[in-house]
Amino acid sequence: MTRHVRLFIVACLVFVSGGFGLAQASLAQDDAQLRFVVVSHGQASDPFWSVVQRGTDAAATDLGVTVEYQAPTTYNMVEMSQLIDAAVASEPDGLVVSIPDAEALSPAIERAIAAGIPVISMNSGSDVAAELGVLVHVGQTEYEAGFGGGERMAEAGVTNAICLIQEAGNAGLEARCAGFTDAMSEAGGTVENLVVDLNNPTEAQQRVEAAMTANAEVNGIMALGPSGAAPALLAIANAGKVDTVQIATFDLSPEVLTAIQDGTMLFAIDQQQYLQGYLPIVLLKLYATNANTIANAVLMTGPGFVTAENVDQVIELTEAGTR
């Protein structure tokens, strides 16, 4: 998000607040006391989630509120559930959560709502947000994003693909692969799901190479994130299949953008994660200060596609830390 867009959102916030006759001095005092907690399943050290946190930090600065970003040390639903419970115990004015595993996280989220804490979900959980009773979901619909990726890969001539899943049990990732598979199937292609452990990139690369060796018909790989794309790119190069196996990925990183730029990657599906950090804080503040609610999920952060045609512009924005 550019600075101009951020200022536009803030201007709208001020306009709405002023239009309802809230005293400016009183509002400023309330704003300074507002504290929101974000609990995601992704660490801020991850290239994707670091941009999410930049969004939350920017919103905190722009809106004059306090925001705390927390995540488990690894992809761990027990630890994440505990973080949500701890956040609830601290009595914040609002809570933002990602929901990669609804079965594991629903009890903690329901406890937060029962405690009277406004909850917004972001990134993952669009399919369960309404059922759980959260205020709104901010993100993209994972199945549709995967379907769009499958259509593009089929159009590029891919007929036999691998879909890499880097977090077993992550409902959002499974939905991406499901959409990708359905689109490929409609085009007459086939897809094999392959789970890889990205805590061991070398092993992940070897698993991808082994899958390509076991099925010589593989001519496409869909990674579900930059951390999965990296070993897949190495596997393709090491197997000598750069000219015969095409690759695409979800989400952006400098390495992904360079690969698109130099032609070794078809495209990246961009869910604009900066907005996933920024917008929930805006919505929580409006809820706290003006009782504003949104009836439906805010499915405005993606999917978008970064290709050779627009990659140069996106690279400039990533250098600013907002894409």
Please give the chain's pLDDT, 323 residues, in tens: 444 444 445 444 443 343 333 333 334 445 669 999 999 998 877 778 889 999 999 999 999 999 999 999 888 999 999 999 999 999 999 999 999 999 999 999 999 999 999 999 998 888 899 899 999 999 888 899 999 999 999 999 999 999 999 888 888 899 999 999 999 999 999 999 999 988 888 999 999 999 999 999 999 999 999 889 999 999 999 999 999 999 999 988 889 999 999 999 999 999 888 999 999 999 999 999 988 877 666 666 667 899 999 999 888 877 776 67
Q: What is the model's pLDDT at position 303?
A: 76
Q: Determine the Cα angle at 168 with ends 96 and 57, to 5°.
A: 25
Residue 68 burial (10 A CB sphere; 0-12, 13-18, 19+) = middle
User: If we measure between CA atoms, which residue out of 98, 142, 137, 121 comes closest to residue 250?
Assistant: 142
Q: What is the model's pLDDT at position 80?
A: 96
CA gap 282, 92 in Å, rounded: 15
Q: What is the model's pLDDT at position 320?
A: 72
194: left (phi over 0), alpha (psi -120 to 50) or beta: beta
Q: For residue 137, give the 3-state DSSP assignment.
A: strand
> Which residue do the tokens 């993209």 mark?
140
CA gap 318, 310 in Å, rounded: 13
| CATH top-level class of 3-140+271-302 | alpha beta
Whether 3-140+271-302 and 142-270 share one fold: the answer is yes
Tokens for 15, please give them. Answer: 């306009």
Q: Determine the Cα angle at 225 with ends 128 and 300, to 5°.
A: 50
Q: What is the model's pLDDT at position 22?
A: 35
Tokens for 269, please give them. Answer: 């599906």
Q: Which stretches of the chain are DSSP H helices?
A: 3-19, 24-33, 47-63, 77-89, 102-114, 129-132, 142-155, 171-186, 201-214, 226-238, 254-262, 273-290, 311-319
Please report, for residues 201, 226, 243, 250, the alpha-carbon distance to residue 219 in angstroms, rounded to integers and kept in the order given. 21, 19, 9, 18
261: left (phi over 0), alpha (psi -120 to 50) or beta: alpha
What pTM value is reported for the model?
0.74
User: If we measure between CA atoms, which residue out of 274, 272, 269, 186 comes closest to residue 228?
Assistant: 269
Q: What is the model's pLDDT at position 97?
A: 97
CA gap 164, 140 in Å, rounded: 19
The structural domains of the chain, with segments of one domain joined by +, span 3-140+271-302, 142-270
Q: What is the model's pLDDT at position 271?
A: 86
Contact yes or no for 183/151 (Cβ under 8 A): yes
CA gap 130, 168 in Å, rounded: 24
Q: What is the model's pLDDT at position 207?
A: 94
User: If we measure between CA atoms, which residue out of 68, 44, 29 comes closest to residue 281?
Assistant: 68
> Which residue do the tokens 């593009």 mark?
152
User: If we measure between CA atoms, which residue out of 203, 195, 199 comes closest to residue 162?
Assistant: 195
The CATH number given to 142-270 is: 3.40.50.2300
Q: What is the model's pLDDT at position 166?
A: 87
List of residues 6+ apart from 304 with CB closer than 8 A: 269, 270, 271, 272
